[in-house]
Amino acid sequence: MTLQILGFLLTVGILVPVHEFGHYWVARRCGVKVLRFSIGFGRVLWRRQAHPGATEFTLSLLPLGGYVRMLDESEGPVPADMREQAFNNRPLKERAAIVAAGPLINLLLAVLLFAAASWLGVEEPKSVLSAPHAGSLAERAGLRAGDWVQAVSTDGQTWTELQSLPELRWHLMRSVSRGERLVLSVSDRAGHGRRSVTLETDLIPKGELDAQLLKRIGLGLPFSEPVLGQLNPTGAGAQAGLLKGDRVLSVDGVAPSDAAALRERIRAAVDGEQGRAMQWKIERAGQVLELQVTPQAVQSGEKKQGRIEAMVGAPPEMVTVSRSLVDALMGGVERTWEVSTMTLQVFGRMLVGEASLKNLSGPLTIADYAGQSLTMGLSYFLSFLALVSVSLGVLNLLPLPMLDGGHLMYYLFEGLSGRPVSEWWHRQLQRVGAFVLLLMMALALSNDMAHKLGLY
């Protein structure tokens, strides 16, 4: 919990000030004088103001939100010679540039963060597949446990070499978002017997671009040998005589292809309300032993599943993924663009009902992933920051009143009509925007709680 809170505060404490500083920096370049930027709540920690009439930038105790506010007569008289330098009296192009600067600097930051993570390098699982889920696209395509995906292509002619499993997952998500098939160049774990396999990812509706996508395709965890890890001394596995380091050769006469297949066998070993006895053949210290293992039947959702209370699976093979500085920067631009367009696609499909509203995540999910990325290392946390920075930038560009995109919408109307939005319409639209944002926040928080409670 401590890491989650720390990760969340770091994420918001970095991205929100950067967003507001983007507004502030462009305002200063445009010569705006009467403007205030405030970030956070509570006691002011830091203040920057060149002189009493200049733009002001303050950072408060809790950087959990930010706002841009024009100074007006209610806060003291504005000298006549400075009125033309006030934000609302600046040319339309300057106002639009100041408003757009916040989201754009978030997208620029994402490019740099993606590039830094790629340049620093990160340990990731090798693109060797576990057993595909029964009936999935991967199983129908003929993929097997232990297949090593070395390259991908959309046309079978131009190939992109892969270094890790996360890269494969990214290509899968991109092919679904584009409605394309993905061709995989596959070999065995030793690199022999290379062949091409076509995944019909174009058959998956674009509205299903969510957290369950990889499960529908059939590709989940990386390949792991069927070797036992730590066991609970009072669990069913330890009671049956299993020990850490045992390699499972067969269960009821069938050799498990990998740890994922073994876990499925264990979960399915339930008859009614009781676990079903299984005959295991294991290898321990060069000797082959036979044991009878009866999993404990545990309620999981609407049905019971078998559990032996043991870590099942050896650590996957890892590779170091890194790029040169130039390649990392180019990759950062490409990844930021693709995440941005994918985010907009998901928002659009949720709006028209083609994608589930369950895709909307809130602060609890952000805190969870922030904490996990912190434990995994700097590169992972930088990549996570980049993803949230893209989301913040794209969200603020949406044409909703109260967001930067809403102000840009006002300026577009002003540019086309030659007159600003009336005060009455501005108030009404602000109320609508506040209601929509509160609704989105409530929905995101309810989704977070549902995930926590296992309802999704």
* Integer Cα distance of 165 and 68 in angstroms: 42
Which is it for strands 148-153 and 182-187: parallel, antiparallel or unpaired? antiparallel
Residue 20 annotated among the catalytic residues of the structure: yes
Whether the Cβ atoms of residue 248 and residue 293 lie closer than 8 Å to each other = no
Whether the Cβ atoms of residue 317 and residue 190 lie closer than 8 Å to each other = no
* Integer Cα distance of 262 and 12 in angstroms: 41
**Which residue bears the tokens 């996957």?**
316
**Tokens in use for 265?**
């066998």
The CA-atom distances, in angstroms, between 1 and each of 366, 367, 372, 454 are 13, 9, 10, 18
Write b or e for each residue in 7-24: b if 16 or more Cβ atoms lie within 10 A of its Cβ, otherwise e.
bbeebbbbbbbbbbbbbb
Give CA angle at 234 (229, 235), nearest 5°.
Answer: 55
Whether the Cβ atoms of residue 243 and residue 168 lie closer than 8 Å to each other = no
Whether the Cβ atoms of residue 343 and residue 293 lie closer than 8 Å to each other = no
Whether the Cβ atoms of residue 26 and residue 93 lie closer than 8 Å to each other = no
CB contact set of 9 (below 8 Å; sequence gap of 6+): none
Catalytic residue among 20, 139, 208, 334: 20
- Residues tagged active-site: 20
